[in-house]
Structure 1
């Protein structure tokens, strides 16, 4: 059993732009799997509020599809949830773990955040990758920090894949996460390889140009695509349980993963996220803020895969909740998906109202 003393813990003010410092002792044990099973705060963790747990169960049952929910109080450690311990496909949520792994290397002096990186034709990825459009005959020069911003704020796939290469690829990212105790969250593969495998393809360079990937995908037999998708959903390479994600987010918020400066930078990028403005963020009342990362998978046979949003919600009094809402595969129309995610954030805010003794305004 190893005792790790954490002297500087980043609390709610990090999301709002300031840092609040506190002392906390954290004990890592050998039991359980991932951070959620191995991280124990010295003081006993209270049970999750019964009213919130009941509300989440009601919301999940009413939605009528396979969903995973976890809500963790960052300060006290309790977690409420539904199907919170089973891995779900993360899709672009996994970009957050890549960014954290890179910032850990920055803290250790192994990567220069202002170091120049040149992207070439081999760095093209799939789907949304605006940085790839800047690659010309001589490549495109940028910095590690710019790639981090693009990956977290814009969810740029090419930026994320290049950051993974800076760490030695998927295996290098996995090792970095393991060293931080984040064994319950996976990245699994480069974005372009993950999307190709999910569709029933094997990545090849010309897929990164124009609509070549989509054309190759459409040319596949329906049975091939279905078999590939079923295999991915059964054992997602990028899988993570909602409870493991909120445990990792809580550790990030408390300053247990990165230096105070690196923690603040990651949270700032998450606060600027342009994706999913009507997911978790859409249900927040006035006075609340969010730092988050979304994930959106491919559509097939009338359904969407890996529709997710995870983040840190900060209440008006500075209390922080780590939240993950994940959909394995949903046939619901987009407005219903958004309404469900928003209902979870409203449930968290209503629970805060109860515990803070504040009457909800009409």
Structure 2
């Protein structure tokens, strides 16, 4: 159980606000202390990135979710901008923005299911860190990767897997999966933590609704292309050769079926809510929460997506996703993340493009414009004291 969850249970039996506030401050001090000085049973992984102050996640108190009826209305100007951006984009897009502290959210087409693609690596990482919190895994555990484990598409770690295989630590796999979106690293973590069933169980246990988890990279990509997976597809350009040999009608039917009801689909609204809960400490221990946010802040993928719209002094932590293309139609082009202003207010964002024929710069511009609109709205409120719950 996370610190915030413990606090909220205590708060039900306490009537004096000052006592509750002191508990919150103590919890944050504990989170900061345990991040800097981890117990011997969980030594800090050497592969975890060290962040500059400008890019590191801001660890500050987050108040509990406001009670129904107390959540303020979202800023009208921002809501209008998000609506305009969504309507003006030539393609099917879902957008969600949530103020983590205040609880308001804005959604454009955010309740439909959109292909996640590599966004789903976040749920694998959460499941792994949850297993670590439960004592079932550790960051120093070794995972054996052999040639038979190779996957498709982006997998830089493939070069380390020789005839004798390769032993990678859980820490190294998390770093590769979350910062470079390495498919081999992610599927190796998925296999180690218990497969898709373990991730789905974590989502259900954590009450993360509106989020599906697919069958893993190999089966997902093969099915989307109209293929039945064979391990030979992982050799050289085997997948591309097999895919290009299919009749266009077969490929089109498979892709249309996937888009109509994506097996790895998620609702942007629920993705933004999950990000907010991660940021508030509802899903993992304070140590694991900080480690995962640090990995997300260190991501090297999609620098021209939402990150390009983040303002000076803002912290940004995210995960991208990119699906297959067919005949000029791009699918599953996504970016989800947390933006924290210099004064500590955090926003959860999800921009998920199901399908479009727009070129990459146009897709990136949409995403950066959403982030830019959030920054403009936040700064437009003028000078203010620290957000509620930070005093």
| Partner residue, 1:268 | 294
Match for residue 351 of structure 1? 377
CA distance in 1, matches of 2:382, 2:141: 46
Equivalent in the alignment of 2:60: 20
In structure 2, which of residues 274, 285, 293 is the aligned counterpart of residue 259 of structure 1? 285
Q: From the superposition, tell whether residues 112 and 14 of structure 1 become closer, same or farther in structure 2 (CA, over 3 Å).
A: farther
**Pairwise CA distance, 1:15:** 6.7
Sort the Cα spacing of 1:4 and 1:274 in 2 relative to 1 into closer, same or farther, 3 A: closer
Query: Is residue 2:348 matched to residue 1:307?
Result: no
CA–CA distance in 1 between the matches of 2:317 and 2:81? 23
Asked if the contact 1:272/1:291 (under 8 Å) is kept, the reply is yes
**Conservation of the 8 A alpha-carbon contact between 1:41 and 1:77:** no
State the aligned residue count.
341
Report the secondary structure of 1:66's partner residue. strand
**Deviation of residue 355 (structure 1)?**
2.3
- Asked if 2 retains the 8 angstrom alpha-carbon contact of 1:285 and 1:349, the reply is yes
Distance 1:43 1:145, change over 3 A: farther
Contact 1:98 1:163 in 2 (8 A): yes
Partner of 1:209: 235
Counterpart-to-counterpart distance in 2, 1:309 and 1:297: 12
SS in 2 for 1:305: strand
Take 2:381 and 2:91, find their aligned partners in 1: how far apart are those partners?
A: 30
**Which structure has more strand as a fraction of its residues?**
1
Q: Deviations over 1:167-191 (max 9, x none)?
A: 2211121012211112322222111
2:72 corresponds to 1:67: no
Is the Cα–Cα contact under 8 Å of residues 284 and 349 in structure 1 kept in the other structure? yes
* Structure 2: stretches of 5+ with no match in the other structure: 8-23, 33-52, 385-391
- What is residue 176 of structure 2 aligned with on the other side? 150
Q: Which residue of 1 aligns with 2:45?
A: none
Contact 2:90/2:358, CA 8 A, preserved across alignment: no
Question: Following superposition of structure 1 onto structure 2, how do residues 63-142 of structure 1 map, counting pairs within 5 Å?
Answer: 63-142=89-168
Offset of 1:103 from its aligned partner? 0.3
Which of residues 308, 315, 335 in structure 2 aligns to 1:282? 308
**d(CA) in 1 for partners of 2:63 and 2:92?**
39
State whether residues 74 and 250 of structure 1, in contact with CA within 8 Å, keep that contact through their aligned partners in structure 2: yes
- TM-score, structure 1 normalization: 0.89
- CA RMSD for the aligned pairs? 2.1
Instruction: Specify the SS of the correspondent of 2:143.
Output: strand
Instruction: Verify the 8 A CA contact 1:15 1:314 in the aligned structure 2.
Output: no
Which residue of 2 is the match for residue 31 of structure 1? Answer: none
Q: Which of 258, 262, 269 does residue 243 from structure 1 map onto?
A: 269
Give the equivalent residue in structure 2 for 1:220: 246
Q: SS at 2:333's partner residue?
A: strand
Q: Runs of 5+ in structure 1 lacking a partner?
A: 27-39
Q: 2:317 aligns with which of 284, 288, 291?
A: 291
- Equivalent in 52, 62, 65 of residue 78 of structure 2: 52
1:200 to 208, 215, 226: 226
Alignment check: 8 A CA contact 2:90 2:356 kept: no
- Partners of 2:295 and 2:277 in 1: CA distance: 17
Q: Does 1:233 align with 2:259?
A: yes
Partners of 1:14 and 1:267 within 8 A in 2: no
